[in-house]
Every structure is written in structure tokens, then in C-alpha cells.
Chains A and B, each alone.
Chain A
Amino acid sequence: MGGAERVGPWRWAGIALALVLALFPFLVLALNSVRPAGEFLSPGAGLLPAQPTLEHYRAVLGGDGETWRFLLNSVVVTAAATALAVALGAPAAYALARWRLPFRLSLVIGLSFLVVRFYPKIAVAIPFYLLMRDWGLLDTHLAVILAHASLALPLVVWILLGFFEEIPREIELSAMLDGCGAWLRFRRVVLPLSLPALGAAAILTAILSWNEFLLASTVAAGEARTLPVRIAGFITDKGTQWGPMSAMGTVIVLPVALFALLAQRWLARGLTAGAVKG
């Protein structure tokens, strides 16, 4: 499809409709986060809050500072899980791309990474909980970090594997002839060429970890709760706390939406890497 193609009025109309459908829910979230508690239940209330208020933000971010802890938990877990997944995944992908193992072992190992994408995580949740209980790691950051890094590892490996395989071997060959071992070739030749792919892998891992609910809620139900686990707690048997839920929803959604906007190109690259080539 040529880049110079003219975008006609009908196409813009379709795009406008799509934007409304995709973004209107975000508007509702933002408006509800500044809607006074009393306005939620009044039937005649319009879309715009009559008297906007920051009370919900004060409630979830001020006071006892509870939300700050959950926010901090999420930041720590996301940063550490991303670092761990990329630090383990990049060398592993390089080994799979360059190492000729007998019995098609490279393929078998590569597929065993991929298989993680295809089974329901609820199947590992309970034994993972028991394992963390036995290791004394329940309700710690480390338990959630391990869970998220292992979920993201296959993603990192497959994005980077595709990328490493496309780097011409000649580049490495000359380094090899000059006496560079595998470590130096990886560290000084391949990695500097792979920054876009590393960026894409890191971004997808960070988003996955920031958003993950199931395993985080399984192993960290107290002090170490992350934001998605906390937000689910707003729906109680007593009823839904709409205001605070909206404020915290905004807190969890805003960073990742900004992130997506800034890193759009890398994000699209990561998302399509697996699917298009597969």
C-alpha cells in the first residue's frame, strides 16, 4: 500500500467512529474519577460531573498512603521482572539463534518456550502458590517478579530470536576470525545492533507485568499486592466503590497509555514479530 494514498472523507468518518468507540470508555473513567460520590446514584446525572472533585484521588492517594504502597509495588515488580526477563531472554535467544545442537534440540527448546503462550495460567497458579509457600515467599515482591519474568520470557526469546536470525552472520564471522569468543560477539557486536528489538521486548514485558492479575493475586494478597490486584478489591460484597475505583483505575491506566503513545513503533514491532512471521 503506497504511503501517498489519499485518505478520503468516508475513510476519515470511519476512523472517527473507531476512535470514539475505542476512546469513549477512557473518557468515562476520567470523568467518573472526578465525580462526587453523591452524583453516582442520582438518576438524572449527566455525563459531565456537575461539581467536579478531587476527593477520590485524595482518598486513594492521600490519607494513609496505602495506594502509594501498591503503586510502588507495581513499579518495583514491573522494573525487576522486565530486567530479569530481558537479561535471561536475550542470551538464551542468542544461543538458540547461533548454536547448532544435535537432534534438533534447538527447535525443541525454542518450542518449549513458545508453549507457555498456549496453556491457561490458572493451571500453574495453584502449584506456584504451593511452591512459593514452601519457599516462604508468599506475599513478597520476589514471588510476583518470578511469576511475571517467567510469563514474559518466551515473548522476549521469540522476539529476539527472530531478530538475531536476521543479523548477517558475516558481521560476526569477521569478529570470530579475529579471535572474539561468543560472549564478546554477543556483547559488543550483536547487542548494539539489537536495541530496537530489545526495546520492543522490554516494552511488552513491562506492559504484561504492570497489568497481570492472576498470578499476582495468587501469591501476593497482602502487603505486596500490585495495582491490578488492589483494584479488583474495590468490588466488595457491600457494593462497588465507584469513585475510588475510578481514581485508581486512572492511576493504573494513565502511565501505560502514555507509554504506548510514546513507544508506539516499538510496541507494534513487538506485537507483530511473533504473529506475522510465525
Chain B
Amino acid sequence: MVTVAVADEAAERRRRRGVRPLPDGLVLGAFLVPALVLLGVTQFWPLAASFGISLHDWTLARSPVMGEFVGAANYARVLSDGQFTGALGFTLALALGSTALSLAAGLALALLTVGEDGRLRLVRALLLFPMVIAPVAVGTIWRMILSARVGTLNGMLGALGLPQPNWLGDPMLARISLAVIDAWQWTPFVMVVMAAALTALPADVLRAARMDGAGRALVFRRITLPLILPTLMLVGMFRLVDALMTLDIVVTTTGGGPGFATQTLSWWIYQQGLRYFNLSVAAAASWLLLALCFGVAALMLLARRRAARWLP
């Protein structure tokens, strides 16, 4: 019905204007080009430019234009910088810790809340809150909770007569805190996707297994887990890559401290580039981070293909 009405309208218009519709190729080309132009100008060109900058000598404080070509010198400089390697180590640990924590918690939440019951749906909506708010605000909120003197957590521990650790002031505790904060924000993402994967499971197979006398644990290990594993690996890849880029929560919690204990790569690059205007060093470091992100993504996709074989 719709198409007939639309076609009639089209024919009517053509009669009025005496024109034929434009060839499809032309229209579809015009559909695609604006999006490609926007992406090209605001993403891909800057990305390519940063690679160019990484091969030249350029400190904005000294010169408004790019200096001479220096080859891989900036990369060598970055890789031999103790602060960069320190940030690299922390970034990897943060990404692994936060991803593992959020995958475990998110899968548990998905199993807890899966179902079409209206109450469960409301619960899932409420559990989404952490991931829809600004990461900068997440940092702010957790700073209020974890602050040594003003913080809510130490207030409660104090009231119970327990020791009050300096959550964001002690190097090791601050690192762990950041991983927990990041996992807190992104656990809902894992939950939503895994709940969808669980909903898509073949209900009759699960029911048949239960009727054959298989216990919950056995059904989960032998049927549910193998079926949701590809999705879990994919979510894990997104989580790892995103966590490798962590910046916002560092800005509003620790500012990279105490000392340099919680500098992530993005934070260190942000400082180098946008605070000290050390453009070529920042560009080289950001391409190293990019390579790391791509490498991890590729590795996870490769692992995803083989994951089924690792199951017990």
C-alpha cells in the first residue's frame, strides 16, 4: 500500500515537472560523499597529519610552523622516556584489570537480570546509569567517595572504627582504584550486550537439556558459555581497546598522581601535546598508542575464532 501511494506521488510529480528521477548511482553517490568528506576532514586528515608531525621536529612554544624532518627520532625519544614506559605499564595493567573485572561483573549482572519481566527491565535500565553519564563526572563522583579526608568511604570506615586508607593518594591503591572506577562505569555495557546474547539463546535446547537432567552449572558450562563466548570475546575487545585510551577519569580523579603513578598513555600525551605543546613527541607517542590499540583488537579477533577450542 505504502509503495503504491509513494509511486503514485512520484508519477504525479514527474507529470507536473516533466522530469525523470535521477539515476540511482548519482543519488547514492550524493548520499555517501558528505559523510566521507566530514570524516575525511575532521578525522582522517588530522590522523594522517599527526603521523607527519611525529616524523618532524616541532614544539609549538618555539615555532608556529613544523620544523625539519627527523625520521624516527621522536619515536626513539619517546620509547626511551621513563615516564612514557611507566605510563605504558600502567595503561596495560589498567586495561587488563578493568576489562577482566567488568566482563565478570557484567556477565553476572546479565545472568541475574535476563528476562522480559517488567521489574527486571526496570532493574536493567537503572543499572545502565553508570555508563550513560560523562566519564569526567564519573571521576568527580568517585573522587568524592574515595578522597582520604572528605570522602564518603573513609567516613563510613571511620564510623566503624576501621583504618582509613588514602585511596587516591597511595600509588598502588590509586592504580587499583582507577581500574575499579573504570570497571564500574563500563560493567553495564557488558551487561546489556550479554543480556541480549542470553536472550537470543535457543530456549528449546536449554529446556531439553534441563529435562534430560542436566544441572544449572552443567548447562551453563556446556551450552550457554560456548554459545555466548564469541559475543563475550567481542565485548572484551571493545572494552580492552577503550580502556587503553583512558583519559577522562584520570583528569578528574588523580591527575596522573600521586607523583606519576596513575599516568595513562592518553594522559601523558595530553600533557605533552596540549600543556607543553611538545607536538612531535605527543604525535609519536599517540601513534605508538594507536598501534597498541590496533594490535590488541586484531589479537582479540584472532583469539575469538579459536576461543571455542579452549573451553574445558
Contact = CB atoms under 8 A, between A and B. Distances in A.
A276 B197 contact: yes
A25 interface: yes
Contacts of B3: 171-172, 174-175, 178, 180, 189
Nearest to B51: A123
A221 to B, nearest CB: 9
A171 B141 CA distance: 50
Nearest to B270: A122
Interface stretch (B69-77, B120-128, B169-177): B120-128
A126 B24 contact: no
Given A32-B144, A92-B36, A181-B24, A3 B115 contact: yes
Interface in A217-251: 218, 227-228, 231-232, 234-235, 240, 242, 245-246, 249
Contacts of A131: 41-42, 45-46, 49
Contacts of B2: 188-189, 192
Interface stretch (A41-49, A52-60, A63-71, A194-202): A41-49
Nearest to B273: A126
Contacts of B195: 268
Interface residues of A, number: 110
B234 A231 contact: no
Contact of A256 (B21, B22, B133, B140): B133
A109 B126 CA distance: 37
B132 A267 contact: yes
Contacts of B46: 123-124, 126-128, 131
B4 A47 contact: no
A179 B36 contact: no
B32 A109 contact: yes
Nearest to A192: B2
A92 B34 contact: yes
B42 A128 contact: yes
A91 interface: yes
A95 B29 contact: yes
Contacts of A107: none
B7 A175 contact: yes
Contacts of A245: 140
A253 B274 CA distance: 27
Interface string A1-35: 11101010001001100110111011011001000
A3 B116 contact: yes
B211 interface: no
B289 A178 contact: no
A270 to B, nearest CB: 10
Contact of B132 (A47, A147, A257): A257
Interface in B25-47: 25, 27-32, 34-36, 38-39, 41-47
B39 A260 contact: no
Contact of A122 (B143, B159, B234, B289): B289
Contacts of B132: 207, 211, 256-257, 259-260, 267
B117 to A, nearest CB: 7
B43 A116 contact: yes
Interface in A254-268: 256-257, 259-261, 264, 267-268
Contacts, number: 337
A249 B104 CA distance: 29
Nearest to B267: A122
Nearest to B198: A1
Nearest to B6: A188
Nearest to B42: A150
B179 interface: no
B123 A181 contact: no
B31 A232 contact: no
Nearest to A207: B132
A175 B6 contact: yes
B94 to A, nearest CB: 14
A46 B47 CA distance: 50
Interface in A155-202: 157, 171-172, 174-175, 178-186, 188-189, 192
B88 interface: no
Interface in A59-113: 84, 88-89, 91-92, 94-96, 98-99, 109, 112-113
A153 interface: yes
B155 interface: yes
A233 B20 CA distance: 58
Contacts of B241: 117-118
12 contacts: A1-B206, A29-B141, A47-B155, A88-B34, A88-B35, A95-B28, A120-B286, A122-B289, A175-B3, A188-B9, A218-B274, A260-B129
Ordered nearest first, which 7 A-B pairs have the shortest CB separation?
A181-B21, A178-B7, A91-B31, A3-B116, A127-B46, A92-B35, A211-B134
Given A18-B112, A127-B283, A180-B7, 20 more contacts: A14-B108, A25-B141, A32-B144, A120-B289, A122-B245, A124-B43, A127-B45, A149-B42, A171-B3, A175-B6, A179-B10, A189-B3, A211-B135, A211-B137, A213-B135, A213-B248, A227-B134, A231-B252, A235-B251, A257-B133
